[in-house]
C-alpha cells in the first residue's frame, strides 16, 4: 500500500475531509507533528505522498520557529525530485517558498466563506461554491506553475506544478470538521479583524461547508488519480 504522510504544524490543523479521497486512492495515512522529536531528521523524499497542512505561523517567522528552515530545505529536495506533494494554506505557502517564490503578509485578513474565481479546470468543481478562507499571508506564484484560482482579496489562491505538486490557499477540507469551532474560539482576533462574528462564521460553516467539502473532495480525487 502507498504511504501518505501528513505534516501537522499545530494540532487543530489536520487533513479533515481530504482523508476520504486520499484513502480511497489507496494510501495508508501517517502523521507527524513538527514538535515531534524525530521531525528534524525525517526523510521527506520517502513518502509516496506528502501533505502539509495549515497553521497560524508564517513562513518568514523562522526566528520564532526554527523548524521552518529545516522543513523548507527538505521540502525543496522533495520538489526537485517531483515527488507528489500537497500543501493547504500554510502548506501552500511552504511549497511556494521552497520553489523560490516570495511569501509575505497581505493587506488584510481573509477569514470566512467566499467564492473563488476559477482559473484552471482542475478546480471547476468549486465554481460558484463559497469556500473557507483563514489567512493573512500570501505568495507570489512560483515560476513554471499554473494559476488555479483567485479571490476578491487575493490574486493567488492556488497553483500546481505539473501533475504532482498542488498548493491550495483555501480550506475546502473543513466543511464537516468539528475543529472549525476550535478555530473560531482560538483566534477571535482574526474574526474581529474582518468585521464578522463567531455566530456568523458558524452559520456559514453549517450552510456552505458540506457542499464546499464535496467539491473539494472531487478536486482531490481527480488530482490524486492524475499523479505521475
Label residue 185 by pLDDT band (50, 70, 90). Answer: very high
| Structure confidence at residue 22 (pLDDT) | 98
| Structure confidence at residue 82 (pLDDT) | 98
Domain count, the chain: 1
Share of the chain above pLDDT 90, in %: 99
- Which residues constitute the domain of residue 216? 2-225
| Structure confidence at residue 24 (pLDDT) | 98
For 124-165, the pLDDT digits (tens) are 999 999 999 999 999 999 999 999 999 999 999 999 999 999
For 92-124, the pLDDT digits (tens) are 999 999 999 999 999 999 999 999 999 999 999
Q: Which of 125, 133, 171, 205 is catalytic?
A: 171
What is each CA distance from 93 to 26, 137, 140, 190, 199, in whole angstroms? 27, 8, 9, 19, 29
Specify the CATH number for the domain of residue 92. 3.40.50.880
Q: Which of 9, 110, 173, 205 is catalytic?
A: 173
First-to-final CA distance of the chain:
17
Pairing of strands 2-8, 85-88: unpaired
- Please check whether residue 9 is in contact with residue 53, taking contact to mean a CB–CB distance below 8 angstroms: yes
Grid cell locating 36:
515531534
133 flagged as catalytic = no
| Structure confidence at residue 72 (pLDDT) | 97
- Please check whether residue 82 is in contact with residue 50, taking contact to mean a CB–CB distance below 8 angstroms: no
- Within its chain, how far is the Cα of 98 from the centroid? 15
Q: Which of 9, 89, 125, 133 is catalytic?
A: 89
Mean pLDDT calculated for residue range 196-214: 98
173 flagged as catalytic = yes
| Structure confidence at residue 52 (pLDDT) | 98
Amino acid at each position: 500500500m502507498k504511504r501518505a504522510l501528513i505534516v501537522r504544524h499545530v494540532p487543530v490543523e489536520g487533513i479533515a475531509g481530504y482523508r476520504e479521497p486520499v484513502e480511497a486512492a489507496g494510501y495508508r495515512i501517517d502523521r507527524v507533528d513538527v514538535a515531534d522529536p524525530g521531525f528534524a531528521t525525517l526523510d521527506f523524499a520517502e513518502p509516496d505522498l506528502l501533505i502539509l497542512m495549515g497553521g497560524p505561523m508564517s513562513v518568514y517567522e523562522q526566528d520564532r520557529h526554527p523548524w521552518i528552515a529545516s522543513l523548507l530545505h527538505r521540502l525543496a529536495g522533495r520538489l526537485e525530485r517531483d515527488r507528489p506533494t500537497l500543501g493547504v494554506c500554510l502548506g501552500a505557502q511552504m511549497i511556494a517558498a521552497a520553489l523560490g517564490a516570495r511569501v509575505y503578509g497581505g493587506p488584510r485578513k481573509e477569514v470566512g466563506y467566499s467564492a473563488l474565481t476559477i482559473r484552471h479546470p482542475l478546480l471547476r468543481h468549486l465554481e460558484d461554491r463559497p469556500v473557507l478562507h483563514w489567512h493573512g499571508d500570501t505568495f507570489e506564484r512560483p515560476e513554471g506553475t499554473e494559476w488555479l484560482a483567485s479571490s476578491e482579496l487575493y490574486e493567488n489562491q492556488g497553483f500546481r506544478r505539473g501533475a504532482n505538486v498542488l498548493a491550495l490557499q483555501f480550506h475546502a477540507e473543513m466543511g464537516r470538521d468539528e475543529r472549525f469551532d476550535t478555530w473560531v474560539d482560538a483566534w477571535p482576533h482574526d474574526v474581529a479583524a474582518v468585521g464578522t462574528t463567531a455566530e456568523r462564521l458558524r452559520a456559514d460553516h453549517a450552510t456552505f461547508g458540506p457542499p464546499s467539502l464535496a467539491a473539494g473532495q472531487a478536486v482531490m480525487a481527480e488530482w490524486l488519480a492524475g499523479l505521475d
